[in-house]
Amino acid sequence: MTDSTFDRPPVPPAVLAPSSDPAPPATRASVAALNRTHDMAGLRSRGGVVVRSIEARRRALVVRRVLRAGGGVVVDVGCEDGWIAEGYAAHVEATILVDLDPSMLERAGRRGLPRARTLEADAAATGALPAASVDVVVLSAVLEHVARPEAVLEAWAPALRVGGRFVVFVPADGPILAAKAVLRLTGLHRLARGVSLEPAPGHVRTFTRRSLVRLLRAYGVLEEVEFDPAVLGYAATLRVA
pLDDT digits (tens, 9 = 90+) for 134-176: 999 999 999 999 999 999 999 999 999 999 999 999 998 766 5
**Predicted model pTM:** 0.78
Does the domain at 14-239 match CATH 3.40.50.10330? Answer given as: no
pLDDT digits (tens, 9 = 90+) for 111-128: 999 999 999 999 999 999
Upper half-sphere CA count for residue 19 (Cβ side, 13 Å): 25
Helix H or strand E encompassing 173: helix 173-186
pLDDT recorded at residue 177: 61
Taking the C-alpha atoms of residue 39 and residue 32, their distance in angstroms, rounded to an integer, is 10
Neighbouring CB atoms inside 10 A of 24's CB total 9
| DSSP 3-state of 141 | coil
Taking the C-alpha atoms of residue 140 and residue 147, their distance in angstroms, rounded to an integer, is 16
